Amino acid sequence: MTDGHDLLLHALRRAPAGQVPPLVDVPESAWTDLLAFNPRDLFPYLAYRLPQLIERERIPATVLEKCEVARRGSAVGHLQRQALLRRLTEALDRAGVPIVVLKGMVLAHLAYPDPSLRPMGDIDLWTRPEDLDAAASVILGVGMRYPERYAARTAAAYKVEEAPTRVFELPGTDLFLEVHSVVQSMAVVAPGWADQAWERCVTARLGGVEVRVLHAEDMLAHLAVHCSEHHRFTMGLRPLLDIALWIEAAGPRLDWPRMAERWNREGGDTWIRLTLALTRELLGAPIPTEFSGDAVRPEGFASLYALAREQVLEAHRTLPPTLAKVSADPSLAGRARWLAYRLTAWYWQGAPGASRSVLQATVEAFRRMAHDFRHKLPPYVHGLMSGSLRGEEFRKRKALAIGRDRLAELVALEQQPRRGS
């Protein structure tokens, strides 16, 4: 680990009564690294946390300014999302459409010291599949719309208004909303989770807006699986901080033996324990050792932990998804097949059973090509120019992508004996 990693972990670390030793003699390289690899979604929290650990005058002005600017921006964004959430929940309630608020908005209000410390890209809502169309109709009725550019980001020309997850934007703003009919991250590893989680939802007030949210135990499972199986730890330390703060906030509402039994029965057990082990070791979260790792299954867990830890600490080296997929493929033939598919069929194929004219197919294909040229090509060019996508740096990033695939393989192998029992 670098000095920057040490500084960041010290700033994020939890401890009994919230006390962490103050920072002394921070090397200059630590501050430089902090700005270089730390994701901006942690800057608002650091604006709050660093002055608690070190005198403000000893924090470099550039670091303090970037963190405080990020916090002010997050505060403005939060006020906008809060107003939107109020409008949405009132409209959905009048229409009799049940919804549950997920992830960021809940964490911001119920786990973080102040909502402005937890930036987010969108508001996530969950509704039953049979209520999705009704929810979408209400949301469109309050002035939101389907983003036209999202159609260009899909591999096939599916209609955005028929997707199992509907994405909306508020025109003239940066506000986005996702409405899920299936909590996909949980459906993959724990198909039995959703029904019980829906029934166990509780009421909470998020900045004066009364909504339904997940039970504390279901929220913890969702956060852990979303961080691990769904994103393979590529989001770095922010999701672990979410989990650490949620565990502190939930406190006695978490029945650890009961949760462990459900993880094992419903699925997601290995991913959840792995995430909790990282959260306990890296951030000092108050997680009982017997529910978070090798105390339960010593064989092979050390390898899983090492791979996952590397993904968390080196998340700033994550490759763009397409490049990561191609780089991690062990065979030249496999890489060639994927590239050929991505550069040809991906642009031209339509939804299964869709009837399209040659003109329609051509227009849709060129629209997706134009989107990629405008939004996806520039990061590759920048990476080549800056050196992050060539030479030794690229080899490190490629190794990280291969490690991510290896992690998923090892988890699958670890789960096989229990699935067959």
pLDDT for residue 416: 63
Residues found in the chain? 421
Alpha carbon distance 285, 111 (integer Å): 13
**Residue 307 burial class via C-beta count within 10 angstroms: exposed 0-12, middle 13-18, buried 19 and up:** buried
pLDDT for residue 237: 95
Global pTM reads: 0.92
pLDDT for residue 34: 87
Alpha carbon distance 352, 364 (integer Å): 15
pLDDT for residue 323: 84
pLDDT for residue 86: 96
pLDDT for residue 159: 73
Token pair for residue 255? 């029945």
Alpha carbon distance 119, 108 (integer Å): 8
pLDDT for residue 2: 83
Digit-by-digit pLDDT tens for the chain (421 residues) are: 788 899 999 999 987 756 777 887 888 889 988 888 777 899 999 999 999 999 899 999 999 999 999 999 999 999 999 999 999 999 999 999 999 999 999 999 999 999 999 999 899 999 999 999 999 999 999 999 998 776 666 655 567 788 889 999 999 998 999 999 999 999 989 988 999 999 999 999 999 999 999 999 999 999 999 999 999 999 999 999 999 999 999 988 999 999 999 998 988 999 999 999 999 999 999 999 888 776 656 567 888 999 999 999 999 888 888 888 888 887 888 888 888 887 777 788 777 677 778 888 888 888 888 888 888 888 888 889 888 888 999 999 999 999 999 999 988 887 665 554 4
Distances (CA, A) of 163 to 131, 176, 191, 236: 13, 16, 19, 29
- The string of DSSP letters for 259-327 reads HHHHHHHHS-HHHHHHHHHHHHHHH-----GGGSSTTT--TTHHHHHHHHHHHHHTGGGPPPHHHHHHH
Residue environment code for 98-129, b if the CB has 16+ CB neighbours within 10 A, otherwise e: ebbbbbbbbbbbbbbeebbbbbbebbbbbbbe
pLDDT for residue 261: 93
- The string of DSSP letters for 121-165 reads S-EEEE--GGGHHHHHHHHHHTT-B--GGGGGGSSS---GGGSSE
3-class SS letters over 180-214:
ECCCHHHHHHCCCHHHHHHHCCEEEEECCEEEEEC
pLDDT for residue 322: 80
